[in-house]
Amino acid sequence: MTSLEGVSVVVTRSPGQSTELVEAIRTAGGEVVQLPMIDTRLLPDAPEELRARIAAGDGHEWLIVLSPNGARYVVDAFAEQPPQRLAVVGPATARAFVDLGWKVTLRPTEPTAEQLAAELPEEGQAIVAQAVIGRRELRDDLRARGWQVDVIPLYETIAPPNDDAMVERARAADVVVLTSPSAVRNYADAVGTHQLAICIGPTTETEAASLGFATATAAGPTVDALMAQLLTSR
């Protein structure tokens, strides 16, 4: 397909993070139902803990951030970029830093934690800033290679309240775009698993498939890749 004419698509990212995707779907002729499935909440002592940990280091550690939300909270914690080398997983996280004037030292050739671990040096020290319930693979992989890794939980993900009428609109849509395992679980609870789920990556796809969604996975975590998968799948 080259058009989404007549197709109703549920977008589960928050409005502040989904503008480009929403515009792309509408440009392709699709109808958008915006039903945010996750929100984030900063942990009260997290910025102070992160600042103290970085101040205690020698500036040679890597600061690793795994999501755009994490990037936003890291930037908010500092008046300027600390001396640590900065590594991120995907383009959206990199853009969240670069747009605010920070320099990203390493973004892997493939946007996965596994690839990031593979492209980091053989040994070193890292501070990983992430959600309370964040993936362990990167931490475990680096520690297995002899790295010293400190994990600083910055925020927690929560399910935002949703209007019943919007939930019904979402339930009647043709397809849903899911961008994290948390969004998958919350959407399944609120709306169901009867629709085709376009997933942003393999981790999200695995969670969606385990709950019973029919799934298709984008080639990468970008709006272009999500749109290409939407157009192919519909």
Q: Express each pLDDT in 195-214 by its tens digit.
A: 999 999 888 999 999 999 99
Please give the single-letter amino acid code of residue 79: A
Domain that holds residue 177: 8-38+160-233
- Specify if 82 maps to a domain: yes
Please report the pLDDT score of residue 215 as a whole number.
97
Structural domain count, the chain = 2
Average pLDDT over residues 122-133: 90
* Closest CA relative to residue 77, chosen from 90, 65, 60, 85: 65
Residues 152 and 227 in one domain: no
The secondary element (H helix, E strand) that includes residue 163 is none
State yes or no: pLDDT of 1 exceeds 70: no
Q: How confident is the model at residue 138 (pLDDT cuts 50, 70, 90)?
A: confident
Q: Are 38 and 187 in contact (CB under 8 A)?
A: no
- Residue in the structure block whose two tokens are 């970008």: 222
Beta strands in the chain (DSSP E): 8-11, 31-34, 39-42, 62-65, 85-88, 125-131, 148-158, 175-178, 196-199, 214-217
Give the end of a domain, one of 128, 157, 186: 157
Residue 159 has what DSSP assignment?
P
SS3 assignment, position 35: coil
Does any domain span residue 1? no
Same domain (yes/no): 222, 174:
yes
Long-range contacts of 78-86 (CB under 8 A, 24+ apart): 78/51, 82/54, 83/59, 84/54, 84/57, 84/59, 84/60, 84/127, 85/60, 85/61, 86/62
The pLDDT of residue 125 is 94
In a domain? residue 28: yes
For 2-31, write each residue's pLDDT tens digit.
Answer: 799 999 999 998 887 888 999 999 999 999
- Please tell me whether residues 100 and 70 are part of one structural domain: yes
For the residues 167-174, what does the mean pLDDT come to? 96
- 48 and 61: one domain? yes
Q: What amino acid occupies position 218?
A: A
pLDDT for residue 134 is more than 80: no
> For 76-102, what is the mean pLDDT?
93
Tell me, yes or no, whether 3 lies in a domain: no
Examine residue 91 and state whether it is found in any structural domain, yes or no: yes
Q: Is residue 131 part of a domain?
A: yes
Say whether both 194 and 152 belong to one domain: no
Choosing from 96, 125, 157, the residue where a domain stops is 157
Q: Which residue has the higher pLDDT, 47 or 123?
A: 47
CB atoms near residue 102 (< 10 Å): 19
- Claim to verify: residue 73 and residue 141 sit in the same structural domain: yes
Q: Is 27 in the same domain as 118?
A: no
In this prediction the pTM is: 0.78
Last residue of a domain, one of 109, 135, 157: 157
How many helices (H) does the chain have, and how many strands (E)?
A: 10, 10
Does residue 2 form part of some domain? Answer: no
In single-letter form, the type of residue at position 50 comes to: L
* Residue 202 in tokens: 């393999």
Q: What is the CATH number of the domain that holds 123?
A: 3.40.50.10090
Q: Do 78 and 169 have their domain in common? A: no
In a domain, 139, yes or no: yes
Tell me: do 69 and 149 sit in the same domain: yes
Asked if 215 and 205 count as a contact pair (C-beta separation under 8 A), the reply is: yes
Mean pLDDT for the chain overall: 92
